[in-house]
Structure 1
């Protein structure tokens, strides 16, 4: 997706370009103008310095190789700074335009893609998944094969209440559920599968929960990506390039990077806590399946542009990807009272878990803050966020007209970096 090609061809959704920097589009000019002083964006220069100073201390202590951070407020970019090493072993410094595997920060892209099709009347959120992917018809719940009380809908996919799960998640947590073990045995996550082969194999597995009853982090957004492909008649890579990346000028955002970008790819290091290097797919490798749940690469600046578009209600400059009402719908809590949660929620997500106990819910692609004072980190009701398993993280706070993006690769405890970013960014507000 990210190889060099002739030109963006957005007409009819058939783009052919990728990781080519459009003139002026991927710079700090235009709709994402850099503030002359951080104070012009309502942020203290001295206090913003604490963000990069803390990250540098983590680099110096050997806990992370490096990072890139981007922070904006009021439509102005207040901070865009690299820290440390792109590749510690090679002693290669981190460039500001370093390319990172963003893992689950792909989910907002795939979710927006589906919502764009909904705006065109091509999908309806209340329709069952099987209307678009017939292999999901007649699913059963649990290894005992109980019938579903109702079919999972597209809304269920977007908010992770479709009864699906992941076979195995990295990090601490409870022993695998029998359905998760069945996923592993069936090799649902085999990287050799195409999108069509993946959904066929996934649909053949039992559901972990009755649809609509339980929030369980899952392959649901991968299914969202496959629905986009079927409805749009093109692969997810091509759709996102044509309909999202090209209009926003996201020159370095897609499902892989071209060979000429090799000296910009951020690498994980051997983690001093685990004494191992996190296994991260090569950013230069074209995947067989374009995973809507976790397959993309990006830069801090590209993701900042994406955040500013969401903060603007679907628009960045002359490009309007979605309506304000659609972004409002996506960033609202869609989990009804009485929603249950799968095992290990707080162990995996900590104080940012999308549950009432932490003051968060979940919208259509990201977690949403619903109450003040329950999470251990600052924020406002209505802010929304998500992160990636390889260390990336972003959030958007409409009340403060604020977004923040953190890009790093491979820390053993990614949650602490999410906590720290929140604390350090909000203390810099003037």
Structure 2
């Protein structure tokens, strides 16, 4: 047998993938983890944590996980639904009267007001600027600049800004990615009477042992905080906004993008989801609730998150879900779930097959390419398991 013809194994391919990502300057370094049914298939810390200091990457590096905050906040909201303190199909203004009477760009009242379910599946009409196509509405949203100012605003200012803007669509009709989970976080605060970070810590972080996850980088963890290359200016701009918010006392604890975390912490959360809602000797969500969370909540004609995941995905309650039809840019199967953060982090998981894969890097410029290639690479490890 010619050893040069030997097919490399999944672990070798993962190492080659990381080497290429670092050499191509997609990120200075990364932490990755692939696990099935409690067995670690691969875990790596590669590259450097800070390109200026050259300090090596460490397994417990702290990353800005941005929109990977959304599945965590959605999970807490679903826990409140199970407790009877929140209702999926109730209007949001039941808890946030500041958002009562929302209107469309035409000036007409919406056919119905956004619901909690709309917040979880991004059909509320509270869209990010990049999702808005109507020129007049886009101009109004750009002037309000909630995308840029949110980390430094108070919850009251965020609600006032959203109330002053028309909805980007009739609630329930379109997937428009945006501030829905920020609003959901404010609903959680009203229901629990606690700041979002405190509510998350009591319900999820402490019970799961997620000790490095929160809305600020503690002073003791600054040396473990992963940074992007200097030329990745969008990453630094995003991170700097949240750092400024932290110095201001984190006035708005963003349920849509404010958390920092580690791979080990997020693995504890993902392990609970693929473990049927159970972990650390307790149940967090029932199987019935998980079935709703993991099921596509969008109409069959709704293109859903195609601009984020590529084709073949719908959206559940907090995560994109692979449909049982259509092409896909990754080797995924029906029921697979994913979401990611604009700062370069991603989770892929399959509850039925009981596996999950995490890649955390500091990378905004080429994050989509990196996460797609990571998913393809992880498949070799999964095929071997």
Structure 1 residues 98-149: Cα deviation after superposition (integer angstroms, max 9, x where no partner): 000000000011101111110110111110111111122111101x312211
Q: CA deviation at 1:175?
A: 7.0
Aligned counterparts of 1:423 and 1:146: Cα–Cα separation in 2 = 46
Tell me, which stretches of 5 or more residues in structure 1 are unaligned?
1-43
Q: How far is the alpha carbon of 1:276 from its aligned partner?
A: 7.0
* Matched residue SS, 1:279: helix
Counterpart mapping for 1:183-332 below 5 A: 183-189=141-147, 190=149, 191-271=151-231, 278-281=236-239, 285=246, 286-332=249-295
Cα 1:182–1:405 shift into 2, 3 Å: same
TM superposition shift of 1:372? 4.7
User: Take 1:288 and 1:175, find their aligned partners in 2: how far apart are those partners?
Assistant: 30
Note closer, same or farther for the CA distance 1:376–1:257 as it changes in structure 2 (3 Å cut): same
Deviation at 1:411, TM superposition (A): 3.7
For 1:67 and 1:292, locate their aligned partners in 2 and report how far apart those are by CA, in whole Å: 24
Q: Map residues 377-396 of structure 1 onto 2, 5 A cutoff.
A: 377-396=330-349
Residue aligning to 1:181: 139
* Equivalent of residue 125 in structure 2, options 152, 163, 169: 163
| 1:13-412 correspondence runs (5 A) | 46-142=9-105, 144-168=106-130, 177-189=135-147, 190=149, 191-271=151-231, 278-281=236-239, 285=246, 286-339=249-302, 346=306, 348-349=307-308, 352-353=309-310, 358-372=311-325, 374-412=327-365
Q: 1:329: how far off? A: 1.2
CA contact (8 A) 1:278 1:410 kept: no
- For these two proteins, the number of residue pairs brought into alignment is 370
| Alignment CA distance shift 1:312-1:259 (3 Å) | same
1:126 to 1:411, Cα distance in 2 relative to 1, 3 A: closer
Residue deviations 1:359-392 (CA, integer Å, cap 9, x gap): 2110000100112550021111001110000110
Please give the TM-score of this superposition, normalised by the length of structure 2. 0.91
**Alignment root-mean-square deviation, CA:** 2.1
In 2, distance between residues paired with 1:255 and 1:382? 30
Between Structure 1 and Structure 2, the one with more helix by share is: 2
Report the CA distance shift for 1:77/1:45 in structure 2 as closer, same or farther (over 3 A): farther
Compare 331-340 and 288-297 and name the one that shifted more.
331-340
CA distance in 1, matches of 2:166, 2:38: 46
What SS is found at the alignment partner of 1:55? helix
Comparing 319-328 with 101-110, greater Cα deviation is found at 319-328
Q: TM-score normalized by structure 1? A: 0.81
CA positional deviation for 1:156: 0.8
Q: Is the 8 Å Cα contact of residues 210 and 265 (structure 2) preserved in structure 1?
A: yes
TM superposition shift of 1:336: 1.9
Distance apart, 1:178 and its partner CA: 3.0
Structure 1 equivalent of residue 4 of structure 2 = none
